[in-house]
Amino acid sequence: MSTLGPRTAHTALAAQRTRLRVRGIASRVVLVIGVLTALSALRPRLWRSWGFLRDVLPGLVPGTARSSLLIVSIALLLLSRGLPRGSRLAYLGSVVVLAASALLHLAAGARSLPGVAITAAGLLWLLARRSAFPVLPQRRAVRRSAVLAVVGVLVILVLAGLFAMMALHDPHPVSDLRIRRVAHLIEAALTVGFLVALGWSLVAPRRPLRLGSRDQRLERERARAIVARHGGGTLDYFALRDDKSWFFVGQSVVAHSVRAGVCLVSPDPIGPPEEREQTWVEFLDYAHDFGWSVAVIGASAPWLPVYETSGLRTVYLGDEAIVDCPSFTLAGGERKSLRQAVNRVAKGGWTTTFVDPLVLDDGSRAQVLAMAGESRHGEGERGFSMTLSRMFDPDDTGLLLALTRAPDGRVDAFCQFTPAAAIDGWSLDVMRRRMDVEDLPNGLIDFTIARTIDEVVRRGQRGLGLNFAVMREVLENEPATRFDALVRPLLQRVSATTQMSSLATFNSKYGPGWVPRYVVLDAAEFVATQALVMAEAEGVTELPVIGRFLDRSPRPGG
């Protein structure tokens, strides 16, 4: 993963300002054309002065064109609403309408040359600025737009049929009068619809769509495809949690959750490297459009220049432990306590097996679920940024489940891991040991992880991601800054009575490499609220980054 420099991020921000100007111009132009189109339909004189617009639907009599233009004007107002957000759907709709209009004007002959020139100019202008509209819509928005388009076309076709009947000089005047009355009612309804759409476009607040369970799952699977193609970091698979939403830009996705006006992002945006800066500035615009403050949990160092250049603040809060499995050994004085724990469990007859969770037998699955449903305290469990929040979902293929069984076959501990291609291995999702049986040996979790390291080597892989060690650099090393010197005594005091230092000790037993992780915060006035929201999202005492040291549960590895 290449590091993004401040100059690159500054360039991306400058390019975004240009895109925003383009979107604003496009939105205003489409809005104005929509209003003029409606006026041309409602005011005959204006209709004649803008006569080239009538050729958008050639062959229909003026009455049909009037109703059709009202439908077109409503569509234009709806399109103008999406253009400021960079919506690819609104952009494509505008392009399609302009292209069809230009072709129809051209087919109408020389008298429509002004219409051809105007629509073609607008079409070419939009085509040249395609990059200003990279934000992909949700499937629900696509379906809704498709339904509205079909309804509009059907209404136009029905009107065309009615007016075609009138054009045939129906010999029954009463029938003809009824048709005209129906047409007038439709025009009146469309006029009201235009006024509502105009008011909504100008003053309605912007709110994200609320998805049902089916649409949420569809969006999650759409994000899964991006994670599979471009992900691989130790936190990337956790972008697929059920309580997250997904914002799509090009081939990239930003997983986030909005709580109390705070938009929590975790992990870093996932996608091809060339889209990183644009994806982030697009997401910031999206969040600010709804009035959310933005915070990132578990941010990685390569992303910090982008976050900082966009005006956010980065704070170091811990290191993630990554074990290099081929070089790991239980030999030596540094591994004495771990070696003793592993040997003690092995001599007692416990064994660890590995399986894809989806092929686990029903009896073992029931035991795993029972352990997973117990208290979340202890065993180093993580929250929003470092756990998947579910087990045995049929869409979660390719996970690794380590099961440690007693001699009689009972499952007494388990660890679930998600794939992490960036370290050529796996990332810890959740670990549990049985709490309802007395006299279990200490070290079941240590034994399970040690056996998992062996399994990673056996598979020809390298890395195993474990827990965060909160503020490890400040606690273990000499203060690098004056601020570190001030906060270190306080952290040491907190560490003495909580799990803060024990997590670092637990991880250190495996001789891992340490990867720094950060929290990214918005403006100073939002920091307190963001801290509380992050605490709630992570489960307060299970915070891998900012609050896990509050936990007073038993030490890990027991």
Residue pLDDT, tens place only, 197-215? 666 666 665 667 677 888 8
8 A C-beta contact, residue 316 and residue 518: yes
| Cα atoms in the Cβ-side hemisphere of radius 13 Å centred on 366 | 3
> Strands of 245-249's sheet, edge to edge?
135-136, 245-249, 252-259, 262-265, 293-300, 513-521, 313-324, 463-470, 425-433, 411-420, 400-405, 351-355
Instruction: Give the distance, in angstroms, between the CA of residue 161 and the centroid of all CA atoms in the same chain.
Output: 46
Estimate to the nearest angstrom the gap between the alpha carbon of 555 and the chain centroid.
34
Reported as a pLDDT band with limits 50, 70 and 90, residue 299 is very high
On the question of pLDDT at 123 being above 90, the answer is no
pLDDT band at residue 378 using 50, 70 and 90 as cut-offs? very low
Cα–Cα distance, 345 to 334 (Å, whole number) = 19
Coil, helix or strand for 544?
coil
The answer to whether 319 and 469 have CB atoms below 8 angstroms apart is yes
CB 530 within 8 A of CB 262: yes
Query: Of 493 and 78, which is predicted with more confidence?
Result: 78
3-state secondary structure 408-439: CCCEEEEEEEEEEHHHCEEEEEEEEECCCCCC
Torsion of CA 101, 104, 105, 111, to 10 degrees: -150
Q: How many CB atoms lie within 10 A of CB 552?
A: 10
The DSSP line for 469-524 is EETHHHHHS--SSHHHHHHHHHHHHHHHHSSHHHHHHHHHTT--EEEEEEEEE--G
Higher-pLDDT residue of 165 and 426 is 426
Half-sphere exposure of 393 (CA within 13 A, CB side): 15
Q: List the one residue out of 557, 464, 440, 455 whose CA is nearest residue 506.
A: 557
Is 77 a residue whose pLDDT tops 70? Answer: yes
Give the closest residue to 429 by CA, choosing from 456, 465, 459, 404.
Answer: 465
Using the CB atoms, write b or e for 465-486: b if 16+ within 10 Å. Answer: bbbbbbbbbbbeeeeeeeebee
How many residues can be counted in the chain?
A: 558
- The three-state DSSP-derived secondary structure of 122-150 is HHHHHHCCHHHCCEECCHHHHHHHHHHHH
Q: How far apart are CA 472 and CA 180, in angstroms?
A: 79
Confirm if 403 and 355 have CB atoms less than 8 A apart.
yes
DSSP for 295-332, written as a single string: EEEEEEGGGHHHHHHTT-EEEEEEEEEEEEGGG--S-S
| Residue 160, both tokens | 């065309």
Residue pair 432/374 in contact by the 8 Å Cβ criterion? yes
Structure-model confidence comparison of residues 81 and 489, the more confident one: 81
CA distance 320 to 298: 9
Domains along the sequence of the chain with CATH: 6-203 (no CATH), 213-315 (3.40.630), 320-550 (3.40.630.30)
What is the rounded CA–CA span in Å between residue 320 and residue 428?
11
Q: Pairing mode, if any, of strands 245-249 and 411-420?
A: unpaired
Please identify which residue in the block is written with the tokens 């399994």: 455
How far, in Å, CA of 185 to CA of 148, rounded?
20
Is 556 a residue whose pLDDT tops 50? no
pLDDT of residue 246: 95
**Rounded mean pLDDT, 440-461:** 95
**Closest to 295 in 3D by CA, of 474, 524, 465:** 524
In the chain, % helix, strand, coil (3-state, to 5) comes to 60, 15, 25
Residues 6+ apart with CB under 8 A from 251: 226, 229, 230, 271, 272, 275
Greater model confidence, 208 or 455: 455
pLDDT-derived band at 45 (thresholds 50, 70, 90) equals very low
Per-residue model confidence as pLDDT tens digits over 389-414: 889 999 999 999 999 999 999 999 99
43-52, 92-101, 309-318, 325-334: range with lowest mean pLDDT? 43-52
The more confidently predicted of residues 69 and 529 is 529
Taking 80 as the threshold, does the pLDDT of residue 269 lie above it?
yes
Q: What are the pLDDT digits (tens) for 502-529? A: 566 778 889 899 999 898 998 877 888 8
What kind and span of H or E run contains 368? helix 362-372
50-68 mean pLDDT: 47
Q: Give the DSSP letter of residue 190.
A: H
For residue 271, give both structure tokens: 């996608």
The Cα–Cα gap between 233 and 266 comes to 12
Q: Which residue type does 530 have?
A: Q
CA distance 16 to 382: 36
pLDDT value at residue 61:
44
CA angle 60, 196, 89 (to 5 degrees): 75
User: Is residue 256 within a helix (H) or strand (E), and if so which, with residue range?
Assistant: strand 252-259
Q: Measured in whole angstroms, how far is the alpha carbon of residue 491 from the centre of its chain? A: 34
CA-wise closest residue to 542 among 422, 313, 375:
375
